Chain A
Amino acid sequence: MAKHHMEATVNGDPVEFLCETEETLLDVLRDTLHLTGSKEGCASGDCGACSVLLDGRLVCSCLVLGCEVGGRSIETIEGMAKGESLHPLQEQFLKSAALQCGICTPGVLVASKALLERSPNPTETEVRYWLAGNLCRCTGYDKIVSAVMDAAAVMRKG
């Protein structure tokens, strides 16, 4: 069976790639497009380390097939900083040391950005529920949650 020839948009740039049916969007991002910021933690949709936005919707890229994304827009962690300037969430995660090993961090950041875009002033409960699908096995979640709350405050001030 021939590979699927796909065209999509990744972080605003048009991309073309070939993939097998069984390759996930995460496989395509990491192995074909060499965007290795999205991580493979569980490959079963439990850990959120591979979180991306698909047409603006937060999803686990390990639960999307590469051949499903033709014509669609994908945003990954690599698109979060604009050139040299970090996103306020990234700034705040550094400032608050809201990470240790860093494997969960790209997914947490992508998920948090999606939250703040729809809810610029979330409660702590809202943040914790929204991020329930992003597992961190190092830090516990307090620093992550407070970094998201702090970044939200920074972003509200513009």
Chain B
Amino acid sequence: MRYEAPDSLEGAVALLAGARGDARVLAGGTDLLVQMRADILEPELIVDIKRIPETRTVTEERGGWRIGAAVTGAELTEHPRLKQVWPGVIEAANLIGSTQVQGRATMGGNLCNGSPAADSVPALVAAGALASLVGPRGRRDLPVEDVMLGPRRLALEKGEIVASFLLPPRPPRSSDAYLRFIPRTEMDIAVVGAGVSLTVDGAGIVTAARVALGAVAPRVLLVPEAARAIVGSRLDAEAQRRLEAAARAACQPIDDKRGTTEFRIQVAGVLARRAALIALDRARSN
């Protein structure tokens, strides 16, 4: 098994594109190393992207934020400003694993692991984040919701990697929130996750919203109907009811020991409503 740690995106792309056997990107390793250990993956080549500056930095760009794909959860939490602007994204990334896992786990890895239950992904989708992909044919930006096609299946071409995420500029009175349901308080995988990002006007009316759901379909869902259910409202009881119904209508969950289909659909509505109310409260005080 070969290990390479190039210091440029071009170098990483050339290695991945030229690999004969299975090649894997290593960011935090909290999924990759576990899957290698369990013999689920036996890559011929591992490309560690952590020496590439873009993957490891957080910078302001075009009024928004560019977050490197290999920035760790702990680093995101400690960032002096991100938590004020994107509290939902940061709280979602912070829910992944333990303190030790936070020291390594990254949002790029969380997305590319290809799990419909990835906590940071619904928050990024609700935020309207773009994934900045670099591959043999250059760079392209893809909405985060279009990166994952299904469990373990990504829209990336051979040799293409997620270098960073671009979070859009934030209008005044905007905020976001992420909630997940797990049967314990810590250290578990989402049974349902819900991310909501919204903007209100001076009168407290929602002028823009995005709602995303995790773990209720083969991939994380952006639910425009749920956003439409609250835009133009003050998130009054009637709008909340519409939001719940729209969120539930979008769900196509599996039925397993961690949650039945019926339970996941029910909880998706509840979490979407609660996340929207938290985001609203935060947006009003922005």
Chain A interface residues (CB < 8 Å from chain B): 1, 4, 20-22, 24, 43-46, 48, 51, 54, 57-60, 62-65, 67-68, 111, 114-115, 129-134
Contact = CB atoms under 8 A, between A and B. Distances in A.
Interface in B10-42: 26, 28-30, 33-34, 36-38
Contact of A21 (B3, B50, B99, B104): B3
A129 B95 CA distance: 11
B103 A59 contact: yes
Interface in B78-115: 97-101, 103-104
A132 B30 contact: no
**Size category of the binding interface on chain B:** 20 to 34
A49 to B, nearest CB: 10
A59 B37 CA distance: 17
Contacts of A68: 5, 26, 29, 48, 50
B1 A1 contact: yes
Contacts of A43: 37
Contact of A133 (B26, B46, B72, B100): B100
Contact of A132 (B26, B46, B187): B187
Contacts of A59: 100, 103-104
Contacts of B104: 59-60, 63-64
A62 B99 contact: no
Contact of A129 (B37, B97, B100, B186): B186
A45 B28 CA distance: 12
19 contacts: A4-B3, A20-B1, A22-B36, A44-B34, A57-B72, A57-B74, A58-B99, A58-B103, A59-B100, A59-B103, A64-B29, A65-B26, A68-B26, A68-B29, A68-B48, A130-B99, A131-B99, A133-B98, A133-B101
A132 B98 CA distance: 6
A48 B103 contact: no
Interface string B32-75: 01101110000000101010000000000000000000001010
Contacts of A58: 99-100, 103
A60 B100 CA distance: 6
Given A48-B100, A64-B104, A65-B26, 13 more contacts: A1-B2, A21-B46, A24-B33, A63-B30, A65-B33, A68-B48, A115-B99, A129-B186, A132-B186, A133-B97, A133-B99, A133-B187, A134-B98
Given A64-B29, A133-B187, A45 B97 contact: yes
Contact of A63 (B1, B34, B74, B187): B34
Contacts of B26: 65, 68
Specify which of A67, A129, A133 lies most central, judged by the most chain B CB atoms within 10 Å of its CB: A133
B29 A132 contact: no
Contacts of A130: 99
A157 to B, nearest CB: 26
B1 A21 contact: yes
Nearest to A62: B33
Contacts of B33: 24, 45, 62-65
A20 B36 CA distance: 14
